[in-house]
Amino acid sequence: MTDARTAEELIAEAAAAPVDGWGFEWLAGRATEERPPWGYARLVGERMARTHAALDVDTGGGEVLAETPYPPKVLVATEAWPPNVPVARRNLRPLGATVVAVAPDSALPFRDDAFDLVVSRHPVRTDWAETARVLRPGGTYLSQQIGAGTMRELSEAILGPLPPPDSRHPEDAVAAAEAAGLTVVDLRRATLRATFHDIGAVVWFLRKVVWTVPGFTVDRHRPALLALHRRIVEQGPFVAQAQRFLLEATHP
């Protein structure tokens, strides 16, 4: 069911809503996305329960890591977007985790062989050499990542036709992990249905998931937003395909 408010009202509401952290509660009742079948949070929890020292890279607001039922003795998370850091510290305080603010694309500020487990959900960029460096021999890297061409339908609805994606291919991640000295032991892929019921949900999503439409602003992309609003009103919810892959690797 589409929202009866005007496009401008929906857009203004979404443009003013906060996008701190990495939770998506604001979209409740307005947009949905299927979850990958492997259950990333459950897999992380299982591995955390048998780990002494673990690192979560690009933790966002710590929302996923906070679900860990049995945290290890040493638990550290990094985050590069300043507004997320206090959110992550608040969410992860009950686990006794330390949240470290880092600069984008910087080296991990930890000694060699520091962790038995490194995890990362939807990392901005995986530094495979740094990941291998901080993993102890026998340690594990587990990551759910954004796949190539994710949400392409939404990107093209705002930007027009795009060339084929040239990054975030699972095969490239496998090659990079192995080049860094890791051994990939599991790779899974999933295509997931994402549904937007009103243009406000689209605006909020694009403000939060910034790589979908790089440089997105309401003013710059207003004509495309209004056209998409009309399409939703006339044809029903807008559907896009989210691409995800799970990669697990070990440090020999």
Q: Is residue 81 within 8 Å of 156, Cβ to Cβ? A: no
d(CA 211, CA 124): 9
d(CA 34, CA 87): 25
Mean pLDDT (whole number) for 86-93: 96
CATH superfamily for 7-250 is Vaccinia Virus protein VP39 (3.40.50.150)
Predicted pLDDT of residue 20: 80
Predicted pLDDT of residue 92: 98
Query: Domain segments of the chain: what residues?
Result: 7-250
Predicted pLDDT of residue 108: 97
Average pLDDT, rounded, for the chain: 96
d(CA 120, CA 57): 5
Residue at token pair 């992380």:
44
CA distances, 57 to each of 110, 145, 159 (Å): 12, 12, 31
pLDDT tens, 54-67? 999 999 999 999 99
What's the gap between Cα 32 and its chain centre?
15
pLDDT at position 178 over 80: yes
Strand partners, 188: 246
Predicted pLDDT of residue 1: 43
pLDDT tens, 119-147? 999 998 999 999 999 999 999 999 999 99
What the block records as the tokens of 234 is 């006339």
3-state secondary structure of 172: helix
Residues 6+ apart with CB under 8 A from 187: 170, 174, 245, 246, 247, 248
Q: Is residue 53 within 8 Å of 72, Cβ to Cβ? A: yes
Mean pLDDT (whole number) for 184-198: 98
**pLDDT tier at 3, thresholds 50, 70, 90:** low
pLDDT at position 22 over 80: no
Strand partners, 101: 79
Mean pLDDT (whole number) for 98-112: 97
Predicted pLDDT of residue 2: 47
